[in-house]
Amino acid sequence: MTCVHCKEADRVFNPRMGKSELKSYRRKGPSKSTRRIIEAVIATNRKGTTLIDIGGGVGAIYHELLNEFVSSAIHVDAAENYLSLARLESTRRGTQNRVQFIKGDFVDISTELPSSDIITLDKVVCCYPNIDSLLSTVASKSTGLVVLSLPREWLLIKFMVKTMNFVRKLSKNAFRNYVYSMSEISDILEKGGFTRTAFEVSGIWQIFVFEKVPENKKVFTS
């Protein structure tokens, strides 16, 4: 994993945080914003499809989708702590043979991965330093659907992000958070052949659905 930023992920997403999230998931189910992503995927009625979940945490998205909607999943994560917990939960659910767990930076390892019908990025865009590289790669690997969440562009959120980044700088942790505009996200994915088909807000999070534009419906401009 060549991304220095990603190498610090285990310090940020540590075992204590991961265990707390898994405990909460088992007790209450997915968080509200994660549930919205799951519902957005279900709404597209893409049953029997394949899924790549980038930065999937404890695996809530594919845990919920594997039974009826998704045939198999690949969980790519820079945090080994979360991959271990997601494996544990998959084993508990009996779906471990349908999920592949890969540690790494998605951009770095993308050539080793198959294309997928669906790619999800729940609270991931705001953790990646090169959004153009990430979403361009996502667009090249998804054959149908990209669903993602990112923070709203509020001044308070921007201030909080700056504060967190400053604290990490003092502790010599290279991990940073980012607040990207929706226009940046849309521009990159539209260049990759996707169009935005759904949007909703859940608290501080925005959830967006982008679908691949069929070749016979693409509009080319000079």
Average pLDDT by stretches of 10, the chain with 222 residues: 63 82 95 94 90 96 93 94 95 96 94 96 91 96 95 85 86 84 93 94 92 65 35
Query: Whole-angstrom Cα distance, residue 36 to residue 179?
Result: 20
Query: Whole-angstrom Cα distance, residue 12 to residue 204?
Result: 20
Q: Which residue from 124, 117, 74, 118 is spatially nearest to 95, judged by alpha carbons?
A: 74
User: What domains lie within the chain, and their CATH numbers?
Assistant: 4-217 (3.40.50.150)
Determine the pLDDT at residue 46.
Answer: 84
Rounded to 5 degrees, φ, ψ at 72 are: -155, 160
Given a contact cutoff of 8 angstroms between Cβ atoms, the answer to whether 203 and 157 are in contact is: no
Given a contact cutoff of 8 angstroms between Cβ atoms, the answer to whether 25 and 97 are in contact is: no
Determine the pLDDT at residue 220.
Answer: 39
Query: Whole-angstrom Cα distance, residue 165 to residue 54?
Result: 22
Query: Whole-angstrom Cα distance, residue 99 to residue 59?
Result: 10
Query: Whole-angstrom Cα distance, residue 5 to residue 7?
Result: 6
Q: DSSP string of 181-198? A: -HHHHHHHHHHTTEEEEE
Long-range contacts of 26-31 (CB under 8 A, 24+ apart): 26/89, 29/60, 29/64, 30/60, 30/61, 30/64, 31/60
Helix crossing, 80-93 with 15-28: angle to 10°?
30
Query: Whole-angstrom Cα distance, residue 12 to residue 205?
Result: 20
Query: Whole-angstrom Cα distance, residue 26 to residue 66?
Result: 16
Determine the pLDDT at residue 215.
Answer: 65
Determine the pLDDT at residue 4.
Answer: 61
Determine the pLDDT at residue 219.
Answer: 45
Given a contact cutoff of 8 angstroms between Cβ atoms, the answer to whether 127 and 121 are in contact is: no
